[in-house]
Amino acid sequence: MSSVKFFFPDSHDYVDPSFDFIAEKGNQHRIRQRDDYYPHEIFSARPYDGMLVSKAIVDGTEKGSSKYTVAQRQRFFRQGVKRFLRLPHDVPVMGDCGAFSYASEYLPPYTVEEVAEFYETCGFDFGISVDHIIFAFEAAGRDAQKIQGDELVECKRRKQLTLELADNFLKKSNSCRFTPLGVAHGWNPESMADSVAALQKMGYDRITLGGMVPLKTPDIMRCLEAVNQVRKTNTQFHLLGISRVEHVEAYQRYGVSSFDSTSPLQQAFKDSKNNYHTLGGLNYVAIRVPQVDGNPALMRAIKSGKVDQNKAKILEKKCLETLRLYEKREVGITETLSILRDYEVITGIVENKKSLIPQYERTLSDRPWESCSCDICQKIGIEVVLFRGAERNRRRGFHNIFVLHEKLKKNLGLKITQEASA
Ligand SMILES: [Zn+2]
């Protein structure tokens, strides 16, 4: 167990265990979610300390943002969260409302009663009170600006509303089995600390610090310093959704005992550079081999006559074959890069991006997948560093989650992370 606990947010991230990387297809008769594998089912050791599930993701909001099908939702309620996620009974699951999904509304769409009942009947261990996000924040530095006028009025209204909901939620949860967490929101470190003090006064000793997603590390630090000033010795903080995990260990001294983040997963396929993380701290660029038949931009270029479809398909196949031969040390790096370059020229016409060949050279020559002990790298080898389709991209995200958890467990120091291409 790591000292700071990592909760992995559920967002229907699973992979098809039957996927064949050579044939590029999985079992067509499989039932999504039921036959798929979550990260804790792929790795021999679970790569997180617990999971976080949002009511908004299961249930949807009035605008219908649910990621669950009707059948999945019914099974979730019938089986409870742990059986649905196929998690061992002793793995903690935290629930929240998914306040981002209704941030633009005047009021949260759920009542305190509904939320407490959701946590209780679905078997959550921890339940986060109903909250309403404050978007504005007085960041430090050159762009520092005081929030005032109508914006300040709205910030204060949301802070007060979140506190009233927390007070009510604490009373409701008295007769429940889950442990309640109050949410603190603020628009600067002082208002955040004020929220924490109010929650402690109500009786909370577990407090979630919300609205951290868009904040830069120095601003998170300022907030932690301020809340630490008012923190009672037994109060523990959970950081809700942080986008940078590099400094998370340093947060411990401010009473942070857990956090959740989708960042390691998302960086695998959303970041322009840091796609594949390593224990040593270097990050690598994944090698883009887009599918001719599955890439909308490429399809458009083919239709408009800018790209020759046959030529693209031949090159795509050649890239994959050569990369696999490179993995077996049957082809050299120069030849491999030259084929990747040919394919990049074709796909580059539509993407109009700068060449990534120098970064690919680094990824290929360092062969980071060979020195990773995770079950994914051991099983699929070079496929893990190919930027291509959800089955590969998501597995690379799972590998990044494994790396984050190993760093936390081994106290390797997350702040040594740097880019391999730097
Ligand atoms: Zn790995």
Residue 415, pLDDT score: 46
DSSP H helices, 134-282, are 149-173, 189-202, 217-230, 263-270
27 sits in the region (left: phi over 0; alpha: psi -120 to 50; else beta) called beta
Domain with 243, as residue range(s), is 49-261
Within-domain flag for 172? yes
Q: Considering the entire predicted model, what is its pTM?
A: 0.92
Residue 351, pLDDT score: 56
Residue 62, pLDDT score: 61
Query: 250 and 373 share a domain?
Result: no
Within-domain flag for 5? no
**From ligand 1's centre to the CA of 263, what distance in Å?**
16
Within-domain flag for 169? yes
Which residues sit opposite 50 in a β-bridge?
A: 7
Query: 141 and 228 share a domain?
Result: yes
Helix (H, G, I), strand (E, B) or coil at 59: helix
Kindly report the number of other CB atoms within 10 A of residue 148's CB atom: 9
Look at residues 219, 235, 261 and tell me which one is the last residue of a structural domain. 261
Instruction: State phi, psi for 71 to the nearest 5 degrees.
Output: -60, -40
Residue 421, pLDDT score: 35
Query: 238 and 176 share a domain?
Result: yes
Q: Which residues of the chain have pLDDT under 50?
A: 415-422
Residue 47, pLDDT score: 96
The number of distinct structural domains making up the chain is 2
Residue 195, pLDDT score: 98
Within-domain flag for 12? no
Upper half-sphere CA count for residue 351 (Cβ side, 13 Å) = 15
Residue 306, pLDDT score: 85
Active site residue 293: no
Residue 170: give its domain's CATH number.
Answer: 3.20.20.105
CB 384 within 8 A of CB 306: no
Active site residue 260: yes
- Set 96, 167, 219, 375: catalytic member: 96
Query: 135 and 283 share a domain?
Result: no
Look at residues 218, 236, 261 and tell me which one is the last residue of a structural domain. 261
| Dist. CA 270–CA 354, nearest whole Å | 16
Residue 298, pLDDT score: 83
Query: 101 and 170 share a domain?
Result: yes
| Dist. CA 67–CA 138, nearest whole Å | 33
Question: End-to-end alpha-carbon separation of the chain, Å?
Answer: 32
Residue 244, pLDDT score: 76
**From ligand 1's centre to the CA of 369, what distance in Å?**
6
- Per-residue pLDDT tens digits for 339-394: 999 999 888 755 556 899 999 999 999 999 999 999 999 999 999 999 999 999 99
Within-domain flag for 383? yes
Residue 54, pLDDT score: 95
| Dist. CA 387–CA 396, nearest whole Å | 9
Look at residues 206, 235, 261 and tell me which one is the last residue of a structural domain. 261
Query: 289 and 201 share a domain?
Result: no
Instruction: State phi, psi for 404 to the nearest 5 degrees.
Output: -60, -45
Within-domain flag for 30? no
